[in-house]
């Protein structure tokens, strides 16, 4: 029997400052996204982790997907 977890929420854009002034590294995180990522690492290959959210139609949303 496999397990399924569905996390519902939003993924946020993180802009982390870099060593050079004005440079930032874009990443994605947030409570529900971090939980989904963590659960996937701990579950077997037969188990499923899904993430239910809504995204925009823009370059940043495309990068997140």
The answer to whether the beta carbons of residues 12 and 56 sit under 8 Å apart is: no
Task: Kindly state the average pLDDT of the residues 43-60.
Answer: 94
Reference 5, options 55, 47, 41; nearest CA is: 47
Instruction: Write out pLDDT tens, residues 8-28.
Output: 999 899 999 999 999 999 999
Q: What is the pTM of this model?
A: 0.68
- For CA atoms 18, 32, 53, 44, the dihedral sign is positive
Q: Where are the domains of the chain?
A: 4-64
* pLDDT reported for residue 61: 93
């Amino acid at each position: 029997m496999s397990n399924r977890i569905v996390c519902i929420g939003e993924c946020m854009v993180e802009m982390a400052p870099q060593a050079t002034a004005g440079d930032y590294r874009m990443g994605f995180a947030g409570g529900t996204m971090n939980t989904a990522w963590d659960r996937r690492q701990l579950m077997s290959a037969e188990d499923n982790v899904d993430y239910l959210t809504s995204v925009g139609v823009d370059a940043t949303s495309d990068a997140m997907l």
